Amino acid sequence: MKCLVPVKRVIDFNVKIRIKSDGSGVETEHVKMSMNPFDEIALEEAVGLQEANVIKEIIAVSIGPKAAQETLRAALARGADRAILIETDDVLEPLNIAKILKVMVEQEKPDLVILGKQAIDDDCNQTGQMLAGLLGWSQGTFISKLKINLTQNQIEVTREVDSGLEMLTLTLPAVVTADLRLNEPRYISLPNVMRAKSKPLEIKSLSAFGLTLKTHSQIVQIELVPPRKGGIKVESVNILLDKLHDEAKII
Protein backbone atom coordinates (compact mmCIF):
# COMPACT_ATOMS: atom_id res chain seq x y z
CA MET A 1 0.00 0.00 0.00
CA LYS A 2 1.01 3.61 -0.54
CA CYS A 3 1.03 6.32 2.14
CA LEU A 4 0.94 10.10 1.73
CA VAL A 5 2.35 12.20 4.58
CA PRO A 6 1.79 15.97 4.41
CA VAL A 7 4.43 17.94 6.35
CA LYS A 8 4.50 21.64 7.21
CA ARG A 9 7.41 24.03 7.64
CA VAL A 10 6.94 25.97 10.89
CA ILE A 11 9.00 28.03 13.32
CA ASP A 12 11.05 25.65 15.44
CA PHE A 13 9.33 24.88 18.75
CA ASN A 14 12.43 25.99 20.68
CA VAL A 15 12.34 29.50 19.21
CA LYS A 16 10.77 32.35 21.16
CA ILE A 17 8.07 33.90 19.00
CA ARG A 18 8.41 37.59 18.13
CA ILE A 19 5.54 39.66 16.74
CA LYS A 20 6.10 42.07 13.86
CA SER A 21 6.11 45.75 14.77
CA ASP A 22 2.88 46.37 12.84
CA GLY A 23 1.10 43.42 14.50
CA SER A 24 0.37 41.77 11.16
CA GLY A 25 2.01 38.47 12.04
CA VAL A 26 5.05 36.85 13.62
CA GLU A 27 8.65 37.30 12.53
CA THR A 28 9.94 34.53 10.28
CA GLU A 29 12.97 36.27 8.76
CA HIS A 30 16.27 34.80 10.02
CA VAL A 31 14.30 32.48 12.32
CA LYS A 32 15.05 28.77 12.62
CA MET A 33 12.38 26.70 10.87
CA SER A 34 11.72 22.98 11.14
CA MET A 35 9.13 20.31 10.46
CA ASN A 36 5.93 20.55 12.45
CA PRO A 37 6.40 18.14 15.42
CA PHE A 38 3.05 16.41 14.91
CA ASP A 39 3.99 15.78 11.27
CA GLU A 40 7.27 14.23 12.46
CA ILE A 41 5.18 11.78 14.48
CA ALA A 42 2.99 11.03 11.45
CA LEU A 43 6.05 10.38 9.30
CA GLU A 44 7.64 8.17 11.96
CA GLU A 45 4.47 6.06 12.05
CA ALA A 46 4.57 5.64 8.28
CA VAL A 47 8.23 4.63 8.40
CA GLY A 48 7.50 2.10 11.13
CA LEU A 49 4.72 0.59 9.03
CA GLN A 50 7.08 0.42 6.06
CA GLU A 51 9.69 -1.38 8.17
CA ALA A 52 6.95 -3.85 9.13
CA ASN A 53 6.32 -4.45 5.39
CA VAL A 54 2.82 -2.97 5.62
CA ILE A 55 3.51 0.15 3.56
CA LYS A 56 5.47 -0.08 0.32
CA GLU A 57 5.97 3.61 -0.52
CA ILE A 58 5.93 6.83 1.51
CA ILE A 59 5.41 10.16 -0.24
CA ALA A 60 6.04 13.37 1.71
CA VAL A 61 4.30 16.48 0.44
CA SER A 62 4.56 20.08 1.57
CA ILE A 63 2.77 23.25 0.49
CA GLY A 64 4.80 26.40 0.94
CA PRO A 65 7.73 28.53 -0.22
CA LYS A 66 10.88 27.33 -1.96
CA ALA A 67 12.60 27.07 1.45
CA ALA A 68 10.20 24.20 2.33
CA GLN A 69 12.52 21.96 0.29
CA GLU A 70 14.66 21.82 3.44
CA THR A 71 11.71 20.38 5.37
CA LEU A 72 11.12 17.81 2.66
CA ARG A 73 14.79 16.81 2.64
CA ALA A 74 14.42 16.19 6.37
CA ALA A 75 11.38 14.03 5.59
CA LEU A 76 13.42 12.06 3.07
CA ALA A 77 16.18 11.62 5.65
CA ARG A 78 13.58 10.31 8.11
CA GLY A 79 12.52 7.60 5.66
CA ALA A 80 10.19 9.00 3.00
CA ASP A 81 10.86 7.51 -0.45
CA ARG A 82 10.14 10.66 -2.43
CA ALA A 83 8.87 14.18 -1.86
CA ILE A 84 6.72 16.75 -3.61
CA LEU A 85 6.74 20.49 -2.97
CA ILE A 86 3.72 22.52 -4.10
CA GLU A 87 5.40 25.89 -4.24
CA THR A 88 3.55 29.02 -3.15
CA ASP A 89 4.38 32.08 -1.09
CA ASP A 90 0.76 32.55 -0.05
CA VAL A 91 -0.33 31.78 3.51
CA LEU A 92 -3.16 29.31 3.01
CA GLU A 93 -6.06 28.40 5.27
CA PRO A 94 -6.75 24.77 6.27
CA LEU A 95 -9.64 24.42 3.79
CA ASN A 96 -7.44 25.51 0.90
CA ILE A 97 -4.66 23.20 2.07
CA ALA A 98 -7.18 20.35 2.16
CA LYS A 99 -8.34 21.16 -1.38
CA ILE A 100 -4.75 21.03 -2.65
CA LEU A 101 -4.08 17.77 -0.83
CA LYS A 102 -7.25 16.32 -2.35
CA VAL A 103 -5.77 16.88 -5.81
CA MET A 104 -2.52 15.27 -4.66
CA VAL A 105 -4.43 12.24 -3.39
CA GLU A 106 -6.27 11.94 -6.71
CA GLN A 107 -2.93 12.07 -8.55
CA GLU A 108 -0.90 9.77 -6.30
CA LYS A 109 -3.75 7.42 -5.26
CA PRO A 110 -2.48 6.51 -1.77
CA ASP A 111 -4.36 4.05 0.43
CA LEU A 112 -3.62 6.01 3.59
CA VAL A 113 -2.94 9.65 4.48
CA ILE A 114 -1.23 10.29 7.82
CA LEU A 115 -0.70 13.84 9.03
CA GLY A 116 -0.21 15.66 12.29
CA LYS A 117 -3.37 16.52 14.20
CA GLN A 118 -2.42 20.22 14.08
CA ALA A 119 0.39 22.62 13.24
CA ILE A 120 2.08 24.41 16.13
CA ASP A 121 2.00 27.79 14.36
CA ASP A 122 -1.75 28.22 13.87
CA ASP A 123 -3.13 25.33 15.99
CA CYS A 124 -6.13 25.06 13.66
CA ASN A 125 -6.56 21.27 13.87
CA GLN A 126 -8.76 21.22 10.76
CA THR A 127 -6.86 20.02 7.69
CA GLY A 128 -7.15 16.27 8.27
CA GLN A 129 -10.87 16.41 8.95
CA MET A 130 -11.52 18.64 5.94
CA LEU A 131 -9.44 16.43 3.65
CA ALA A 132 -11.36 13.32 4.71
CA GLY A 133 -14.62 15.18 4.13
CA LEU A 134 -13.61 16.33 0.65
CA LEU A 135 -12.46 12.83 -0.30
CA GLY A 136 -15.38 11.04 1.34
CA TRP A 137 -12.89 8.79 3.16
CA SER A 138 -12.94 7.24 6.61
CA GLN A 139 -11.15 9.34 9.23
CA GLY A 140 -9.55 8.80 12.62
CA THR A 141 -8.29 11.88 14.45
CA PHE A 142 -6.00 12.35 17.49
CA ILE A 143 -4.82 8.75 17.24
CA SER A 144 -2.41 7.30 19.79
CA LYS A 145 -2.33 3.80 18.30
CA LEU A 146 -2.66 2.43 14.77
CA LYS A 147 -2.94 -1.14 13.50
CA ILE A 148 -3.50 -2.10 9.85
CA ASN A 149 -5.33 -5.26 8.78
CA LEU A 150 -4.70 -5.62 5.05
CA THR A 151 -6.60 -8.91 4.72
CA GLN A 152 -9.81 -7.13 5.69
CA ASN A 153 -8.79 -3.78 4.17
CA GLN A 154 -9.26 -2.09 7.54
CA ILE A 155 -7.30 -0.16 10.14
CA GLU A 156 -7.87 -0.07 13.87
CA VAL A 157 -7.14 3.21 15.66
CA THR A 158 -7.19 4.34 19.26
CA ARG A 159 -8.26 7.96 19.67
CA GLU A 160 -7.63 10.28 22.58
CA VAL A 161 -10.90 12.03 23.45
CA ASP A 162 -12.07 14.11 26.41
CA SER A 163 -13.69 11.13 28.11
CA GLY A 164 -10.69 8.81 27.66
CA LEU A 165 -9.81 6.47 24.79
CA GLU A 166 -11.99 5.50 21.86
CA MET A 167 -11.28 2.51 19.60
CA LEU A 168 -12.49 2.64 15.99
CA THR A 169 -12.27 0.34 12.98
CA LEU A 170 -11.96 2.21 9.69
CA THR A 171 -12.22 0.98 6.12
CA LEU A 172 -9.38 1.88 3.79
CA PRO A 173 -8.70 4.29 2.17
CA ALA A 174 -8.57 6.55 5.22
CA VAL A 175 -7.17 9.75 6.67
CA VAL A 176 -5.69 9.68 10.17
CA THR A 177 -4.13 12.45 12.26
CA ALA A 178 -1.34 11.75 14.74
CA ASP A 179 -1.37 12.71 18.41
CA LEU A 180 1.68 13.03 20.67
CA ARG A 181 1.58 9.53 22.14
CA LEU A 182 1.45 7.68 18.82
CA ASN A 183 5.26 7.27 18.84
CA GLU A 184 8.56 9.02 19.49
CA PRO A 185 10.35 10.12 16.30
CA ARG A 186 13.92 8.84 15.96
CA TYR A 187 16.95 11.05 15.42
CA ILE A 188 18.13 11.52 11.86
CA SER A 189 21.47 9.80 11.25
CA LEU A 190 24.17 11.36 9.07
CA PRO A 191 24.11 8.49 6.52
CA ASN A 192 20.36 9.03 6.08
CA VAL A 193 20.92 12.77 5.58
CA MET A 194 23.42 11.97 2.83
CA ARG A 195 21.07 9.40 1.25
CA ALA A 196 18.23 11.92 1.23
CA LYS A 197 20.17 14.11 -1.21
CA SER A 198 19.79 11.49 -3.92
CA LYS A 199 16.09 10.82 -3.34
CA PRO A 200 13.63 12.46 -5.77
CA LEU A 201 12.10 15.81 -4.79
CA GLU A 202 9.58 17.14 -7.31
CA ILE A 203 8.53 20.79 -7.35
CA LYS A 204 5.10 21.76 -8.65
CA SER A 205 3.58 25.20 -9.04
CA LEU A 206 0.31 25.81 -7.22
CA SER A 207 -1.02 27.61 -10.32
CA ALA A 208 -0.72 24.34 -12.27
CA PHE A 209 -3.43 22.78 -10.08
CA GLY A 210 -6.11 25.03 -11.56
CA LEU A 211 -7.82 25.57 -8.22
CA THR A 212 -9.82 28.64 -7.27
CA LEU A 213 -8.89 29.23 -3.64
CA LYS A 214 -10.87 31.77 -1.63
CA THR A 215 -9.84 33.46 1.59
CA HIS A 216 -12.44 32.97 4.33
CA SER A 217 -10.73 34.77 7.19
CA GLN A 218 -8.36 37.67 7.78
CA ILE A 219 -5.85 38.36 10.52
CA VAL A 220 -6.68 41.80 11.92
CA GLN A 221 -4.09 42.06 14.68
CA ILE A 222 -1.71 39.82 16.58
CA GLU A 223 -0.76 40.75 20.13
CA LEU A 224 1.23 39.16 22.92
CA VAL A 225 -0.76 37.76 25.81
CA PRO A 226 -0.46 40.17 28.81
CA PRO A 227 1.85 38.77 31.49
CA ARG A 228 0.02 37.08 34.37
CA LYS A 229 0.29 38.56 37.82
CA GLY A 230 2.10 36.51 40.43
CA GLY A 231 0.08 34.48 42.88
CA ILE A 232 -0.08 35.00 46.63
CA LYS A 233 -0.39 32.72 49.63
CA VAL A 234 -3.29 33.14 52.05
CA GLU A 235 -3.49 32.00 55.65
CA SER A 236 -6.90 30.34 55.56
CA VAL A 237 -9.74 29.15 53.37
CA ASN A 238 -11.94 32.00 54.61
CA ILE A 239 -9.44 34.60 53.42
CA LEU A 240 -9.21 32.79 50.08
CA LEU A 241 -12.98 32.86 49.68
CA ASP A 242 -13.10 36.57 50.56
CA LYS A 243 -10.46 37.39 47.94
CA LEU A 244 -12.19 35.29 45.28
CA HIS A 245 -15.44 37.12 46.07
CA ASP A 246 -14.24 40.68 46.64
CA GLU A 247 -11.14 41.00 44.45
CA ALA A 248 -11.35 38.38 41.72
CA LYS A 249 -15.18 38.55 41.67
CA ILE A 250 -15.50 34.98 40.43
CA ILE A 251 -17.76 33.65 43.18
Beta bridge partners of 166: 159
Is 243 part of a structural domain of the chain?
Answer: no
Predicted pLDDT at 18: 87
Paired sense of beta strands 57-64 and 164-171, if any:
unpaired
CATH of the domain at 25: 3.40.50.620
Is residue 249, in this structure, part of any structural domain at all? no
List the pLDDT tens digit at each of the 251 positions of the chain.
999 999 999 999 888 888 888 888 888 888 899 999 999 999 999 999 999 999 999 999 999 999 999 999 999 999 999 999 999 988 899 999 999 999 999 999 999 999 999 999 888 999 999 999 999 999 999 999 999 998 899 999 999 888 889 999 999 999 999 999 999 999 998 999 999 999 999 999 998 888 888 888 888 888 888 888 888 888 999 999 998 998 888 88
Tell me whether residue 236 is in a domain.
no
User: For all residues of the chain together, what is the average pLDDT?
Assistant: 92
CA atoms within 13 A on the CB side of 231: 4
Domain-located, residue 247: no
pLDDT for 131 equals 97
User: What's the domain count of the chain?
Assistant: 1
Strand partners, 26: 19
Predicted pLDDT at 140: 94
The predicted model scores a pTM of 0.85
| One-character DSSP codes across 37-65 | HHHHHHHHHHHHHHHTTS-SEEEEEEEE-
pLDDT tens-digit readout, 26-35? 888 888 999 9
Domain assignment of residue 36, yes or no: yes
Distance between CA atoms of 53 and 179, rounded to whole angstroms?
A: 23
Whether residue 232 lies inside any domain: the answer is: no
What is the torsional sign of CA 229, 235, 239, 244?
positive
**Number of Cβ within a 10 Å radius of residue 7:** 28
One-letter amino acid for residue 145 of the chain: K
Q: Is residue 177 part of a domain?
A: yes
Its domain, for residue 33, covers 2-224
For residue range 159-207, list pLDDT tens digits in order: 988 888 999 999 999 999 999 999 999 999 899 999 999 999 999 999 8
61 located within any domain? yes
